[in-house]
A and B are shown apart, each in its own frame.
Chain A
Amino acid sequence: MEDIIIREDIQEAVGKIKKADILVGIPSYNNATTIGHVVKAVQAGLAKYFPHKKSVLVNSDGGSTDGTIDVVQRSTVEDFQSILLHHKVEPLYKIATPYLGIPGKGSSFRTIFEIADALNVKACAVVDSDLRSITPEWIELLIKPVIESGFDYVSPLYHRHKYDGTITNSIVYPLGRALYGKQIRQPIGGDFGFSGKIAKFYIKKDVWETDVARYGIDIWMTTTAVANDFKVCQSFLGAKIHDPKDPSADLSAMLYQVVGATFDLMEAYSEVWKAIKGSEKIPTFGFQYAVGLEPVSVNLDRMIDNFKLGIKKLIDIWKLFIPQEIINFLQKMEVVRKAEFNIPDEIWAEIIYSFAVAAHSKVLNKEHLLKSLTPLYLGRVASFVTETWENSAAEVEENIDRLCMCFENKKSLLLNNWV
């Protein structure tokens, strides 16, 4: 290892284990209440589906103060018969360590990749530590495509509420699909499977002192896998239910992080995406079934008010890089009634491409540029909610597919303006 980023005691533990077949990583930060369930699900999954493989569980912690690491060490499946397991099982090695480096999920993953590299594992998976819906089958679905079918990267596929994951649905998925030509439905899902080969590839990339170490690791992993021609697939994991996120989490900061990381990758892989036209489905594993999802509340008035306030106050900033006909349309939207409020797919695709070009040509400070997207995004979400209020989950999926087609058809706009 060129850069030693794992602590000495962990290097010692790695030295004792020497070699392993499977590694499952769990990044955490103050998740004492939920991580026990995740650890047990992982242990049960490894015991049930990979009983003869030497497996390691790595908890890479961001300095929790609520005893997360203790919970990881204590949590174990005591009664394997309850999961209908009767055969002999290889013992599970556990490594729980605070990671070194810049605070963030990316640094946490870096430690996991380093340990995977040191143990020369064949397959890895990472799962979030706040998951409530994880089952042992998730481990099978994330690891098996790597071990048995030779895939390098397994992206998750979930059933989510139609209004859940709106940044994914309205920006990251359509943009990523149009750019790189692969229909990866949850590119920033957070739970992934990958080969030891790609973990070694990730480690060698010089990004660990950049924003990737803080945030944007999910989109970075997915895009790096696709843009470098690794074999990619997705696995259906069922419903994704996790601890509610901090309600005070700033939406504009979230947009800045995720969209900023996506735009940075566009710079890095411009020669790759410029050559791609259309998109193709990727192999999908797992038996798909309908899932009951909890209803969510949406404050439509607040979103539309925020959009209209943005039109009033930020239009001069947008005029610097958004085409005049889109500006005229947005100004019209400022005065329409709630029932008629609509931002069509074509307009939304053009807006996102205008922001991408503006970020590329450095029209504005990047943070200002991306944070000024918030009111437009809220307007688009409001429009989407109004449009799909009566629709079923399948119909909503069709809507999202139409939006993706729009992004693909308008890609020439991006190519012409990307100078």
Chain B
Amino acid sequence: MNFLQRIIIEPLDKCLENFLQFLPAILTSIFIFILGIFLGLILKFIFSRFLRAIKLDKLSERFGVVEIIQKAGVKEPVSLVISRFIGWITIIIFSILSLQSLNFPVIERILETFLLYLPNVFIAAVILFLGHLLGNFFGRAALIASVNAGIKISGLIGRFVKIAIFLITLTMALEQLGIGRETMVIAFAIIFGGIVLAFAIAFGFGGRDIAKNYIEKKVKGEGDKDDFSHL
């Protein structure tokens, strides 16, 4: 009897005691989590209405934001995307709070590491977004400029500029996230340098005569331009 008491009953009692001690924390945690979900849904609804009321979708269309997010594969209106984002952020914040309320040292440590890392993820996302915008902007500028200069491979030039800018920002984002810090920079330098060198050699060999004619024309001023004034 004594044996049973020691081996089974006492540990079970202790376990029950621990569970009862822990129960309020679990209930609080579940409550915070459910509250987060509700609050997230409510905020999503409110922001969706508000953003539609201030005609954000029309403004975004006017400023070219719709074009950018559609290119990124997002088909929903901007107001919905933002309100959804706000909803999810609320749910994530409340999930973290609910986990913290459990007072588990291991979970606390993991959360601490995660929270400290979170700004890096945010900055990396911003860098990538800016990279996408800048890549599109300068890619299009290069495309239009090269078409106006009558360069046949203008499409290639536009894409090259766009990809080069995106590669630079991708490297910066990965560096921010601490993923293969030096490896990424070196890999980027090798790839980017290699592409530029390849182009230089290709143009050097393939377009030697074209370059020679072009420089000769520029130096001697013998362009095939029209001699009427446009203005």
Which residues does A use to contact B, with CB under 8 Å?
A: 161, 163-168, 188, 244-245, 247-248, 250-252, 254-255, 258, 296-299, 302-303, 305-306, 309-310, 312-314, 317, 320, 361-365, 367-368, 371-372, 374-375
- Closest Cβ neighbor of B230 among chain A residues: A167
Is there an interface contact between A372 and B144, defined as CB atoms closer than 8 Å? yes
Is there an interface contact between B224 and A302, defined as CB atoms closer than 8 Å? yes
Selected from B145, B228, B231, the residue in CB contact (under 8 A) with A298 is B228
B84 interface contact, C-beta 8 A: no
- Sample (18) of A-B pairs whose CB atoms are under 8 Å apart: A164-B228, A165-B231, A166-B228, A247-B223, A247-B225, A247-B227, A252-B148, A254-B231, A258-B231, A297-B227, A302-B150, A302-B224, A305-B150, A309-B154, A313-B154, A314-B147, A371-B145, A374-B148
Q: What CA separation (Å) do A362 and B154 show in the bound complex?
A: 25
B104 neighbours in A (Cβ, 8 Å): none
Is there an interface contact between A375 and B221, defined as CB atoms closer than 8 Å? no
Q: What CA separation (Å) do A69 and B147 show in the bound complex?
A: 40
What 8 A-B pairs are tightest by C-beta distance, nearest first?
A: A296-B228, A252-B148, A374-B148, A167-B230, A163-B228, A164-B228, A313-B147, A371-B144
B67 neighbours in A (Cβ, 8 Å): 320
Is there an interface contact between A161 and B228, defined as CB atoms closer than 8 Å? yes
B73 interface contact, C-beta 8 A: no
- Closest Cβ neighbor of A253 among chain B residues: B148
Selected from A247, A296, A305, A314, the residue in CB contact (under 8 A) with B144 is A314
Chain B residues numbered 137-156 whose CB sits less than 8 Å from any CB in chain A = 137, 140-141, 143-145, 147-148, 150, 152, 154-155
Chain B residues numbered 61-80 whose CB sits less than 8 Å from any CB in chain A = 62-64, 67
- Closest Cβ neighbor of B140 among chain A residues: A368
A133 to chain B, nearest CB (A): 13
- Closest Cβ neighbor of A371 among chain B residues: B144
Q: What CA separation (Å) do A317 and B64 show in the bound complex?
A: 12
Q: What CA separation (Å) do A310 and B228 show in the bound complex?
A: 22
Counting chain B residues whose Cβ lies within 8 A of the other chain, the interface size class is 20 to 34
B229 interface contact, C-beta 8 A: yes
B182 interface contact, C-beta 8 A: no
Q: What CA separation (Å) do A312 and B154 show in the bound complex?
A: 10
Is there an interface contact between B230 and A165, defined as CB atoms closer than 8 Å? yes
Is there an interface contact between A306 and B231, defined as CB atoms closer than 8 Å? no
Selected from B141, B152, B154, B155, the residue in CB contact (under 8 A) with A368 is B141
B137 neighbours in A (Cβ, 8 Å): 365
Q: Mark B204-231, 1 if CB is under 8 A from A, else 0.
A: 0000000000000000010111111111
Selected from B64, B150, B158, B230, the residue in CB contact (under 8 A) with A254 is B230
A258 neighbours in B (Cβ, 8 Å): 231
Is there an interface contact between A245 and B152, defined as CB atoms closer than 8 Å? no
Q: What CA separation (Å) do A371 and B143 show in the bound complex?
A: 11
A297 neighbours in B (Cβ, 8 Å): 226-227
B154 neighbours in A (Cβ, 8 Å): 309, 313
- Closest Cβ neighbor of B218 among chain A residues: A248
Is there an interface contact between B230 and A298, defined as CB atoms closer than 8 Å? no
Q: Given A309-B150, A309-B154, A313-B155, A245 and B62 touching (CB < 8 A)?
A: no
Q: Given A371-B148, A375-B147, A245 and B221 touching (CB < 8 A)?
A: no
- Closest Cβ neighbor of A218 among chain B residues: B231
Q: What CA separation (Å) do A314 and B141 show in the bound complex?
A: 11
Q: What CA separation (Å) do A161 and B144 show in the bound complex?
A: 30
Q: What CA separation (Å) do A166 and B230 show in the bound complex?
A: 5
- Closest Cβ neighbor of B152 among chain A residues: A309
A252 neighbours in B (Cβ, 8 Å): 144-145, 148
Which of the listed residues B137, B143, B158 has the most CB atoms from chain A within 10 Å of its own CB?
B143
B221 neighbours in A (Cβ, 8 Å): 247
Q: Mark B117-146, 1 if CB is under 8 A from A, else 0.
A: 000000000000000000001001101110
| New A-B pairs, 12, CB < 8 Å, besides A161-B228, A306-B150, A309-B152 | A163-B226, A163-B228, A254-B230, A254-B231, A255-B230, A296-B226, A299-B226, A305-B150, A365-B140, A368-B140, A374-B144, A375-B147
A168 neighbours in B (Cβ, 8 Å): 231
A167 neighbours in B (Cβ, 8 Å): 230-231
- Closest Cβ neighbor of B157 among chain A residues: A313
Q: Given A313-B143, A371-B148, A364 and B64 touching (CB < 8 A)?
A: yes
B183 to chain A, nearest CB (A): 36
A247 neighbours in B (Cβ, 8 Å): 221, 223, 225, 227
A361 neighbours in B (Cβ, 8 Å): 62
Q: What CA separation (Å) do A282 and B226 show in the bound complex?
A: 33
Q: What CA separation (Å) do A251 and B148 show in the bound complex?
A: 8
Q: What CA separation (Å) do A163 and B226 show in the bound complex?
A: 10
Q: What CA separation (Å) do A312 and B148 show in the bound complex?
A: 12
B56 to chain A, nearest CB (A): 15
